[in-house]
Amino acid sequence: MIWPALATTSAAALAAWAVRSPRSSLLGPVVWQGPQTKRQIALTFDDGPSESTPALLDLLDSHAAKATFFVCGANVRRLPGVAREIAARGHELANHTMTHQPLYLKSHAAIQREVVDAQSEIAGVTGAPPKLFRPPFGCRWPGLAGVLRQADLRLVMWSAIGCDWRLPASGVAARLQAAARPGAIFCLHDGRELTLQPEIAATIGAVRVIMPRLGQDGFRFPTVSEFICPTPSSNVLSR
C-alpha cells in the first residue's frame, strides 16, 4: 500500500508546485525573470493603486527608476487619478484581476470575469489595455492560460518577493539585496488587496534603502515590458 500513498503525495506536491511556484510553466507560459545580459532589475508593485502610491512614485522619480504596477481593477475604479498618474510618470500598468480574489478553485467563467473586467477598467481609465498579468497571491489555476491568451496578456511572476506585507523595511530590503542580480524581477506591494488607505511604510522604506545600493552597483530599472520585449508596447498614458 505504500506505493499508492507515495504516488498520491507526489501528485499533490506536483499540483501545488504548478499552482504556486513562480517558475512553474505546467499551467501555461510564464515569465519569472528577464535577460541576464544587462545589469537591469524590474521593480513590480501589486495590489494598487492606493492612497500611498504617489509617495512611492516620488521616490522612484528621485532615482530615475521605472516600474510595473500590477493593479486591481476595483482600486483603479476607486482611484482613477492615481492610476493615470502612474502612467503619466512613465510607468507601466498591468492586470492583477478586478477584485483580488484567489483564482484557485474558481470556474472558467469566474476567472475570465476577473481578468476581463480588470482589463476593461484599466483601459477605460488610462486609455490603453495592459499587456501583462499577475494572479493574486501568485496562484494559477487550470483555464487561466486560455483566458490570458484570449485577452492577449502575458503571465509575469517574479524571481524574488519582498514579503513587505509582514516584514519590516530592513527585512524586505535584505531579501531583495540578497536576490539582486541581472534579470531579477522583484515583487513588492503598493496596496494591500482592496484595503482603503493601506499601510505600506515597509515597502517605501525598503525601496528607499535598496535603490541607492543597487544604483551604485550599476543597475538600471526598466518596466517589465521594456525588460522582456525587444520592441515594448507599454501602456503609458498618452499626453
Q: Round the average pLDDT of the chain to a whole number and report it.
A: 91
Mean pLDDT to the nearest integer, 192-202: 95
> According to the model, what pLDDT value does residue 96 have?
98
For residues 47 and 43, what is the distance between their CA atoms, to the nearest angstrom? 14
Residue (of 65, 84, 88) closest to 76 by Cα position: 84
> According to the model, what pLDDT value does residue 23 have?
85
Q: Is residue 2 part of a domain?
A: no
Mean pLDDT to the nearest integer, 158-177: 98
CATH number of the domain encompassing residue 128: 3.20.20.370
Is a pLDDT exceeding 80 seen at residue 13?
A: no
Mean pLDDT to the nearest integer, 21-40: 92
Q: Is residue 184 part of a domain?
A: yes
> According to the model, what pLDDT value does residue 229 have?
76
> According to the model, what pLDDT value does residue 232 have?
38
Q: Is residue 222 part of a domain?
A: yes
Q: Which residues contact 27 (CB under 8 A, 6 or more apart)?
A: 18, 19, 140, 141, 142, 144, 145
Q: Is residue 138 part of a domain?
A: yes
Q: Is residue 51 part of a domain?
A: yes
For residues 213 and 221, what is the distance between their CA atoms, to the nearest angstrom? 13
> According to the model, what pLDDT value does residue 18 have?
77
Query: What is this structure's pTM?
Result: 0.90
Q: Is residue 236 part of a domain?
A: no
Q: Is residue 6 part of a domain?
A: no
Residue (of 203, 228, 219) closest to 59 by Cα position: 203
239 or 72, higher pLDDT: 72
Q: Is residue 177 part of a domain?
A: yes
Total of domains in the chain: 1
List the domain range (segments joined by +) for residue 211: 31-228
Is a pLDDT exceeding 80 seen at residue 55?
A: yes
Q: Which three cell numbers stand for residue 167?
A: 516584514
77 or 5, higher pLDDT: 77
For residues 234 and 188, what is the distance between their CA atoms, to the nearest angstrom? 20
Predicted confidence band of residue 128 (pLDDT cuts 50, 70, 90): very high
Catalytic residues: 46, 189
Best-predicted range by mean pLDDT (1-10, 13-22, 24-33, 170-179): 170-179
